[in-house]
């Protein structure tokens, strides 16, 4: 996982957070570890963060207790830290936050909604219980649920006064099959490797981590001032392959009252463009 005060270029300070060999060593699968990591970063950054990259993620490996660890790291390891850092991000003015989601949010069938709702309610134990009936595929379902939940959290929070109104730009990047240690771990398991290699990627092959890094740098830059609450898919076309007609969609008639209510809601309207 990498969390940074800005882009990793000359003149910028970068603070890395990981379970080992990092500026801040912490176990994000526990409340104590998340609290320690968040506070240590604030101390090192002097209470002001220009940006953050939340790339914490455990893959759906078929190991004991994996669904619980995925819920704790992939979801709570993102939102708990960002809740703590929000004042420091607001203090920087025009801060940028990039959260790593996944194209599993739209390409994994039958993800239980109750697991997603449980995570959004910060109830990891309930989320784990919600995927137990899937047996050996429970880690796969929890992985997709965790990325769905964190994507929805980003969309909901990004437009609020506490984030957009405080000049913090909160967005998510949704990668597909990128050759990273997480994918290498999955490819080392024959059953998962077979499924991954047969998964449709229209442009062919796997993505490169450097390509994602370029997207992260853009989303941390001033060029992203007008980017807010977006989920950017970088997956070789898999999401579009499966769901070409699913998005975008017009507002359905039954949601028109709620839409109009939101339309009339009071929002800060700064002069001269984005804040």
Strand partners, 178: 207
- For residue 68, the enclosing domain spans 17-239+250-264
Quick: pLDDT tens for 55-105.
988 989 888 899 999 999 999 999 999 999 999 999 998 999 999 999 999
Model pLDDT, residue 136:
92
Query: Is residue 160 helix, strand or coil?
Result: coil
Nearest 5°: the CA angle 127, 128, 130 is 65
3-state secondary structure of 220: helix
The domain that holds 163 is classified in CATH as: 3.40.50.720
* Inside any domain, residue 273: no
| Among 229, 26, 211, 239, CA closest to 144 | 239
Domains contained in the chain, number: 1
What digits encode the pLDDT tens for the residues 104-161? 999 999 999 999 999 999 999 999 999 999 999 999 999 999 999 999 999 999 999 9
Distance in angstroms (rounded) separating the CA atoms of residues 40 and 46: 10
Return the DSSP state at 74: I
CB 236 within 8 A of CB 202: yes
**Would you say residue 43 lies in a domain?**
yes
**What is residue 10's predicted lDDT score, i.e. its pLDDT?**
57
Instruction: Kindly give the pairing relationship between strand 24-25 and strand 51-54.
Output: unpaired
- DSSP string computed for 113-150: HHHHHHHHTT-HHHHHHHHGGGGGGHHHHHHHHHHHHH
Phi, psi for 217 (deg, rounded to 5): -60, -40
Could you tell me the maximum CA-CA distance found in the chain, to the nearest angstrom?
A: 57
pLDDT tier for residue 250 given thresholds of 50, 70 and 90? very high
Is 244 part of a structural domain of the chain?
no
Q: Do residues 274 and 225 touch, judged by C-beta distance below 8 A?
A: yes
The average confidence (pLDDT) of the chain is: 91
User: Is residue 68 packed enough to be buried (19+ CB in 10 Å), middle (13-18) or exposed (0-12)?
Assistant: middle
Check if 241 is active-site.
Answer: no
How confident is the model over 192-200, as a mean pLDDT? 86
Tokens of 273: 């463009």
Residue 7, domain member (yes or no): no
Are the C-beta atoms of residues 133 and 82 closer than 8 Å to each other? no
| Spatial CA neighbour of 50 closest among 99, 12, 89, 14 | 89
Q: Which of 85, 100, 143, 163 is catalytic?
A: 143
| β-bridge mates for residue 266, sequence order | none
What separation in angstroms does the CA of 15 have from each of 3, 12, 49, 117? 6, 10, 10, 32
Asked whether residue 270 is assigned to any structural domain, the reply reads no
Contact 55, 4 (CB under 8 A): no
For residues 124-146, one letter each, b for 16 or more C-beta atoms within 10 angstroms of the residue's C-beta and e for the rest, the string is: beebbebbeebeeebbbbbbbbb
144 lies in a domain? yes
> According to the model, what pLDDT value does residue 195 have?
82
């Amino acid at each position: 996982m990498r969390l940074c005060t800005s882009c990793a270029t000359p003149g910028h300070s970068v603070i890395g957070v990981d379970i080992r060999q990092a500026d801040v060593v912490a176990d994000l699968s526990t409340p104590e570890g998340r609290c320690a990591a968040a506070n240590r970063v604030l101390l090192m950054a002097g209470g002001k963060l220009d940006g953050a990259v939340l790339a914490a993620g455990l893959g759906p490996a078929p190991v004991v207790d994996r669904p619980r660890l995925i819920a704790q790291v992939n979801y709570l390891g993102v939102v708990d830290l960002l809740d703590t850092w929000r004042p420091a991000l607001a203090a920087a003015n025009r801060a940028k936050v990039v959260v790593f989601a996944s194209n599993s949010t739209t390409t994994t069938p039958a993800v239980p909604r109750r697991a997603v709702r449980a995570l959004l309610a910060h109830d990891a134990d309930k989320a784990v219980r919600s995927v137990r009936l899937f047996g050996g595929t429970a880690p796969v379902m929890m992985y997709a649920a965790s990325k769905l939940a964190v994507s929805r959290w980003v969309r909901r929070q990004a437009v609020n006064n506490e984030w957009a109104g405080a000049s913090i730009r909160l967005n998510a990047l949704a990668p597909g099959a990128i050759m990273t240690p997480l994918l290498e771990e999955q490819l080392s398991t024959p059953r998962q490797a077979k499924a991954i290699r047969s998964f449709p990627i229209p442009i062919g092959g796997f993505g490169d981590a450097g390509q994602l890094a370029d997207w992260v740098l853009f989303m941390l830059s001033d060029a992203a001032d007008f980017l807010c609450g977006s989920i950017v898919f970088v997956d070789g076309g898999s999401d579009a392959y499966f769901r070409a007609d699913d998005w975008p969609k017009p507002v359905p008639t039954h949601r028109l009252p709620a839409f109009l209510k939101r339309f009339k809601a009071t929002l800060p309207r700064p002069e001269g463009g984005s804040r």
